[in-house]
Structure 1
């Protein structure tokens, strides 16, 4: 029952945070996927693009609501697995390691033993990667739907043609989360449609979650401070920035593949634009990830406390 409570605490916490900050995710996706030769947005900065979208479409319609239903649904499921199962997997790995070692001295005092500290951090990274990978595999279809809906978002005229956004001049193809899912499945199938880019998605989620939760967990432990909102906020912000920096290249490739591109297209874009393309949209992504963690982890910690579960 402890696992159920942990997952129940994690899902809503992730959903609330991702919902509030969906604008950053929308901006990041649009920046990653716009044509560099004929960009849809004239601004040269992430903030400028956000301002242009707000001027043309409004904040709610242009940035806050695109892909929101898919994002919230995915967050509840994905968050429940990636954060909710983390402590259980971490403790199980620690138990197995202790049983496999003849001496438990290293585990008792990891702070005074560099090798033991490294082992602890590796276990935390592995735990995050396992839970992140499981959650990502289960929710990959919703991730594809969210990306498509965010990329397509824009104002539509009475003829059903986009007049703003990346698909300016083209007809609307997606209307809701469910219809988008059905449409992709019918037109593109399972492997090449709703599970397009699943390998990259799972790799990205594993790295993100491993870096994010391991750094959050480790920063809390080495701080020596008691559990509380200030500790949760500072460690959450730092872990969000660390994690997004690690996964940004995979994040960009994932978004590109979810829009229908294959590895050949991705490599062509990379050769044309150089390695800097992999960090396109980094600032809104980093801001979004840091802010998501600042909201997400303290909420999850409070939900865990309310449900009678120990802090992460």
Structure 2
């Protein structure tokens, strides 16, 4: 039997970009809740529409695309490669999948950090007073200005919580999706179809939101800050604990879940359909890069 060819390495990044584009308004609101004084999701969205129009809900979308085509593309590729290294096959135990996800998250967190900063700054800009805004035109303008105005080291701002969050995200989201998918297939209620993909991704989204919330809040607060000493993780934790108490780590959980849940579902449903499309084109004799 002929060995099945691997899927294109960029497939995961494309699926994530499509999903993130659809859910961008929710991601934008989550970042503004975490990094600003906004208190409630609906009120924050209304404030955005009131001050910038409906188009304002898509502020910073170029940063989202940059982030997905760097971080997400890398994490899906690295996850598949890590599973090969660890021998995590179809029915691999949860710990092997989580280990592969952690390895992938560490790599992707480093590679995607500049894109992550650009995305957070573009999304959070209009929540700030006019005099404190970065006023970047688009993702490349943000990248070049950061290097020019703050130095190359600015691209590593918040890298520790970002890598930590990426490890948690991949260990919880990618690994739990594969785990739930394999476990559900063992029952008599599911077959490998869209219902299975929806159920497994729904469970994975809830797990990932809860596991990643503390690191996600820290990442947003550090990356959205500017000035000397503002990128200290311990400094941000102390200031946040003093201002909001220990529950600051779960601030924005509801909008985070509301954003991550459909994003997770859309990512995996899109990815599975893209894989089906690749399989179909190959069956017809076409070559997919």
**Equivalence map 1:90-239=2 (5 Å):** 90-94=83-87, 120-153=93-126, 165-170=127-132, 173-191=135-153, 193-224=154-185, 225-239=190-204
Equivalent pair of 1:145/1:194 in contact (CA under 8 Å): no
| In 1, Cα distance between equivalents of 2:207 and 2:133 | 39
| Displaced runs of 4 or more, over 6 A | none
Q: TM-score, with normalisation over the residues of structure 2? A: 0.85
In structure 2, C-alpha distance between the alignment counterparts of 1:58 and 1:69, rounded to whole Å = 18
Paired residue for 2:286?
A: none
* Structure 2 contact 70–115 (Cα < 8 Å) conserved: no
Q: Is the 8 A contact 2:136 2:142 kept in 1?
A: yes
2:133, 2:97 → 1: CA distance? 47
Deviates more, 1:84-93 or 1:9-18: 84-93
The correspondence for 2:76, drawn from 68, 71, 83, is 83
Q: What are the ranges of 5 or more consecutive residues in structure 1 without an aligned counterpart?
A: 96-106, 111-116, 154-164
TM-score, scaled to structure 1? 0.79
Distance 2:131 2:19 in 1: 33
Of structures 1 and 2, the larger Rg is shown by 1
> SS of the counterpart of 2:191?
coil
Provide, for residues 39-65 of structure 1, a one-character-per-residue CA deviation record: whole Å limited to 9, x for no partner: 3x4xx42122112222332222x222x
Following the alignment from structure 1 to structure 2, what is the Cα–Cα distance between the partners of residues 84 and 270? 37
Partner of 2:273: 302
Q: Deviations over 1:50-97 (max 9, x none)?
A: 12222332222x222x221121122123222212342342233127xx
Tell me how far apart the structure 2 counterparts of residues 2 and 136 of structure 1 sit (CA, whole Å).
27
Return closer, same or farther for 1:172/1:78 CA change in 2, 3 Å cut-off. closer
Which residue matches 1:27? 29
Inter-partner Cα distance in structure 2 for 1:168 and 1:2: 52
Aligned partner of 1:98 in structure 2 is none
Query: 1:63 aligned to 2:57?
Result: yes
- In structure 2, relative to structure 1, the CA distance for the partners of 1:76 and 1:172 (3 Å cut) is closer
Unaligned runs of 5+ in 2: 281-289
CA distance in 2, matches of 1:271, 1:287: 27
Tell me, what secondary structure is at the counterpart of 1:276?
helix
Aligned to 2:258: 287
Deviation for aligned residue 1:150? 0.8
Contact 2:63 2:115 in 1 (8 A): yes
SS of 1:7's partner is: coil
Question: Which deviates more from structure 2 when the two are superposed, residues 232-241 or residues 73-82?
Answer: 73-82
Q: How far did 1:169 drift?
A: 4.8
Q: State which drifts further: 85-94 or 24-33.
A: 85-94
